[in-house]
Amino acid sequence: MDAVDIADRPDVAPELRLVPHAFRRTFGRSAAGVWYAPGVLRLLGGAVRVPGKWGAIVAGDRRDDGLLELVSVNRPTERALVPSDEVPAWALPVRGAGGGATLMCSVDLPQGSGLSAGLALRAAVGLALRELAGVAFEEEPVVPLDLPGQRLLVVDTRVRRVEPQVERPWAGDTADLGAALTAYHAAQDSDPEQDVVVRAALEAGARGASLLVDPPGRPAVALVDADLVPAVKRAITGAAELPPRYLTISTAP
């Protein structure tokens, strides 16, 4: 009996079937597998890493020439071949990857929105290459928080800049996450849009807030009691020049 294509398996979540379906439609054959990696919220310069439910999915199969071919569900006309001198912007996070595979990719977060979409894509590709081509890949550890009744409000200011944002490492205490976030922000060279978010969030009752470094964006994050999330969002939206986009992450394990 022939194996059922991943794209047609009812026991697989719909969002995971979509990408192998796109692979089959594009290449005329079934994908050998599908891999997922979550976006990671890097708090305090990476001292605390929290997984989000949004991330990257890739589906594909092995190729024998050692090249990595990438196609994006989001940008189907911008194909990437690695290594190559011309890699489209969406594929830059994996331009140094090695191993032979053809992969269809889907990232459900824009780069720079705060959850390290580029790192999620690189992780998902790394998982695929580890299984398809035997390439070594070490996953970045993430730590679920245990702060019941609180939320991490990720704020995409929708500002994108090509200039890099330098990040000073954090060596302070993380026991009081809210206080640590605010102290971390004060120690960084933030952009005005990030300062506006942090100030508005704190004035509206957030336990703490700081910038996030996720190029090319200028996002921010606030630690907020769950019942205050709507009020904090209203305060930030009222203070910001551009209407921000929000993601809310639970801090319960």
Judge if the upstream peptide bond of residue 76 is cis by omega within 30 degrees of 0: no
Q: 124 near 40, Cβ under 8 Å?
A: no
Of the candidates 144, 105, 134, 108, the one whose C-alpha atom is nearest the C-alpha of residue 122 is 105
Phi-psi region of 221 (alpha: psi -120 to 50; beta: other; left: phi over 0): beta
For the chain, the straight-line distance linking the first and the last C-alpha, in angstroms and rounded, comes to 42
Together in a domain, 59 and 25: yes
The answer to the question of residue 40 being in a domain is yes
Of the candidates 221, 226, 220, 232, the one whose C-alpha atom is nearest the C-alpha of residue 250 is 226
* Residue positions counted in the chain: 253
CATH number for the domain spanning 190: value is 3.30.70.890
CATH number for the domain spanning 96: value is 3.30.230.10
Q: Which CA distances in Å does 52 have to 42, 119, 188? A: 10, 12, 24
Can you read off the two tokens belonging to residue 175?
A: 């026991």
The answer to the question of residue 16 being in a domain is yes
The answer to the question of residue 142 being in a domain is no
Question: What confidence score (pLDDT) does residue 84 get?
Answer: 83
User: How many separate domains does the chain show?
Assistant: 2
How does pLDDT run along the chain (253 residues), one tens digit per residue? 356 687 888 887 777 889 999 999 999 999 999 999 998 999 999 999 998 888 999 999 999 988 999 999 988 888 999 888 888 888 888 888 878 999 999 998 888 999 998 889 999 999 999 999 888 887 778 887 899 999 999 999 999 999 989 888 898 888 999 999 999 999 999 999 999 999 999 999 999 999 999 999 999 999 999 999 999 999 999 999 999 999 999 987 7
DSSP reduced 3-state for 215: coil
The answer to the question of residue 57 being in a domain is yes
CB atoms within 10 A of CB 28: 7
Q: Which CA distances in Å does 242 have to 133, 152, 193? A: 44, 21, 9
Place of tokens 């890739």: 58
**What letter represents residue 236's amino acid?**
I
Contacts of residue 46, defined as CB under 8 A and 6 or more positions apart, other chains included, come to: none
